[in-house]
Amino acid sequence: MGLINIAEAGVKLVMVGGKGGVGKTTCAASIALQLAMDGKRVLVISSDPTPSLSDIFEVPVGDKESRINDLYGLYGLEVSSEIVLKRWKERFGPEIYEVVSSFASVDYDFVDYIGSAPGIEEEYMLNFIMELVEGNTYDVVVWDTAPAGHTLRLLKLPELFLAHMEAATKFYMNIYSHFEKLRNTLTLKDSKRTLLEIIASWEALAERIVEFIRNRDAVKYLVVTIPEALGVRLTERMVKELEENSLTVENIIINNVIKDEDCEFHKMRKQMQGHYIQRIQAEYGDKNIVLLYLSPYEIKGLERISETAKKLFQ
């Protein structure tokens, strides 16, 4: 039990996960604002297909990094799959095309074909986030992720990344029995690299992403949940899956907690919640668990967001 530890020095990325509707965006916005109020330059980025940063901050946030507030170094960005795929294509399209077209006569649409394979977008999302973090434009990036299942899949992907790209390319290459021989010697005309060099660079990138997301000092995983059966079950699943992939969840926020038993309704709800809160506390005694009370107000606008932030950090 304790306060969330994401304001520590050295933290570069805070990943906020959890099922839909539990308060991920509210928490991500609050954390980002608090860090910005502490004097850091912060980017809050949402990859949820139905983003809501604009609604919460009451300023337009879109697919270009934009400043959310004049007083603090707080910036926002909502990324769509189209943008992620577009960047992926810019980064890998020419290499893939070069590799494949050296063996088979394919046109550039082949790149679209690989790009449409399931998982590519998520794979590239991690690279996208890593570049933002390493770009040093921001001190901290707070990532408001898409609902649970999606994100879990995403974090398993770096290892699959290479397999994916290689399988698709090899599919064509294997038509040619000389492949293994050529692999080491054939130099591609545009980049002057050998096939092996290009594939090795994909491998190195996949490894770098894995290393990046497993860096416990720089990347903090925070799960938001609610004290109800489904919330707890999904949290257990999420924590387990993350930890099976060597990603440690250090922080759990239990949101929408009823504070006072001031009527029969609240008394009953509090009792119901109490059971699940205890279960989370018993199960995750080694983590920082913060209770966030259900607010009577809508959490919108800087004032309410900063009130929420105070509750998380103090």
Ligand X SMILES: Nc1ncnc2c1ncn2[C@@H]1O[C@H](COP(=O)(O)OP(=O)(O)O)[C@@H](O)[C@H]1O
Binding of residue 21 to ligand X (CB under 6 A): yes
User: How far, in Å, are 96, 104, 110, 143, 206 from residue 170 at the CA level?
Assistant: 11, 11, 13, 34, 18
Are 44 and 76 in contact by the 8 Å Cβ rule? The answer is yes
What's the min distance (Å) between Cβ of 263 and Mg ion? 30
In this structure, is the dihedral angle defined by the CA atoms of residues 13, 17, 23 and 25, taken in order, positive or negative? positive
Q: How far is the C-alpha of 9 from the C-alpha of 92, rounded, in Å? A: 34
Tokens of 180: 């293994």
Alpha helices in the chain (DSSP H): 24-37, 53-57, 81-101, 109-115, 120-134, 148-156, 158-173, 179-185, 195-213, 229-244, 264-283, 301-313
Options 44, 222, 299, 309; binder of ligand X; rule CB under 6 A: 299
Give the closest residue to 42 by CA, choosing from 16, 8, 18, 65.
Answer: 65
Binding of residue 301 to ligand X (CB under 6 A): no
Q: How far is the C-alpha of 85 from the C-alpha of 115, rounded, in Å? A: 7
* Residue 127 interacting entry, from Mg ion, ligand X, none, C-beta within 5 to 8 Å by type: none
Binding of residue 24 to ligand X (CB under 6 A): yes
| Residues contacting residue 110 through CB under 8 Å, at least 6 positions apart | 96, 97, 100, 101
* Residue 295 interacting entry, from ligand X, Mg ion, none, C-beta within 5 to 8 Å by type: ligand X
* Residue 11 interacting entry, from ligand X, Mg ion, none, C-beta within 5 to 8 Å by type: none
Binding of residue 20 to ligand X (CB under 6 A): yes
* Residue 258 interacting entry, from ligand X, Mg ion, none, C-beta within 5 to 8 Å by type: none
Binding site for Mg ion (CB under 5 A): 24-25, 48
**Of residues 236-295, which lie at the interface with ligand X (CB under 6 A)?**
255-256, 292, 294-295
What's the min distance (Å) between Cβ of 39 and ligand X? 25
| Comparison of 75 and 88: residue with beta carbon closer to Mg ion | 75
| Comparison of 16 and 43: residue with beta carbon closer to ligand X | 16
Q: How far is the C-alpha of 221 from the C-alpha of 230, rounded, in Å? A: 20
| Comparison of 99 and 258: residue with beta carbon closer to ligand X | 258
Of 18-26, 93-101, 114-122, 154-162, the window that binds ligand X (rule: CB under 6 A) is: 18-26
Total residues contacting ligand X by CB under 6 A comes to 16
The one-letter amino acid code at 311 reads: K
**Rule CB under 6 A: which residues touch ligand X?**
18, 20-26, 52, 255-256, 292, 294-295, 298-299
